[in-house]
Structure 1
């Protein structure tokens, strides 16, 4: 079948975890960076459809899921949900460890899990929603990224949300260009990259 964009179904989650890893190194394959292939998605994909499945959309064809967008309508509320419902089990499963010196970065993500703390940010007043989006290479350049963002933006507008933000790694210049083409603008520049915003 031809690829379609549709709402998330729980059976999509395993594929989303795989895609998060395959696109997790500034858009490239991050498999070599992590001994535990699930850690990256535990932070940047998995909690979103669990917390609010209505704000996750996928692109899929007869070979499976090709990409997804996950989002939350209210970042501070989502951070509180993570602290209450998501991080405790992961913190118990993954104790903080030292850098093994083998080039892997599991210890970096584990430390983020333990130290994750939502903090008040004036950006959340105007742009309370945020997203993460990933597409496999074979789905890129076909308009699916734009359509995924439009689907999420429509769902957020239906809830009365005023704006959306996201962070982008400075190395992922293609992603920054894409977001700017679909209407995002640079709000902040950081040593690691940029925060982009979209008025809804």
Structure 2
């Protein structure tokens, strides 16, 4: 009997798989392990706090055998999430990933600085797009329509919760990701952030047409 992939809500048992997916896709969609001394800092910033603070907005692509091979997760309210990250999440991981004393000198230190400064997520120009998201799929599962379906499920959840719009911040160098988001109706938002990142946003309405 053939098992078919399905999208389902996150379960706590998925945590290690989501951390692994994050690590294996965090370098502009490619494996981050060659680039970091301790790549576990990446899911500590971009995956684990979301399933800890807002698990109801986390959905996984299940390979049909119970194994998560992709995910989408995020928050409905970025300023609130940044505050909760500071008070609830950061104390759980701060000792493992200390903030560098001076300017970051390695990729690990750059990430540690991001970890210790959750207020960076609150960008004035993004206020009309209060939600934000992260989406990642392992390479064998990309290009098969699963990312589009994950996005549809997530946007519908936001829309049903009364959230009007969502944003994401991506590496400008990640051209395939930008093409994916463009196809899903995201548009660029001008901000004061540096040119290494691009901010995109869209309404949560009409997710079924994405």
TM-score by length of 1: 0.91
* Cα pair 1:184 1:197 within 8 Å, conserved: yes
Q: Is 2:55 the counterpart of 1:53?
A: yes
* Cα pair 2:39 2:108 within 8 Å, conserved: no
* Cα pair 1:99 1:105 within 8 Å, conserved: no
1:82 to 79, 82, 85: 85
Alignment length (residue pairs)? 197
Q: Is 2:38 the counterpart of 1:36?
A: yes
Per the alignment, residue 208 of structure 2 pairs with none
Q: Map 1:161-180 onto structure 2 (within 5 A).
A: 161-180=163-182
Per the alignment, residue 195 of structure 2 pairs with 191
Mind listing any 5+ residue stretches in structure 1 that lack a counterpart?
none
Per the alignment, residue 65 of structure 1 pairs with 68
Q: 1:92 to 1:135 in 2, by over 3 A?
A: same
Q: 1:100 to 1:77 in 2, by over 3 A?
A: closer
Mind listing any 5+ residue stretches in structure 2 that lack a counterpart?
205-210
* Cα pair 2:104 2:110 within 8 Å, conserved: no
Could you tell me how far 1:122 is from its partner in structure 2? Answer: 4.0
Could you tell me how far 1:89 is from its partner in structure 2? Answer: 2.7
Distance in 2 between the 1:197 and 1:116 partners? 20
Could you tell me how far 1:9 is from its partner in structure 2? Answer: 0.5
Distance in 2 between the 1:198 and 1:60 partners? 26
Q: Is 2:94 the counterpart of 1:91?
A: yes
TM-score by length of 2: 0.87
Distance in 1 between the 2:123 and 2:198 partners? 18
Coordinate RMSD, CA, aligned: 1.9
Partner SS, residue 168 of structure 2: strand
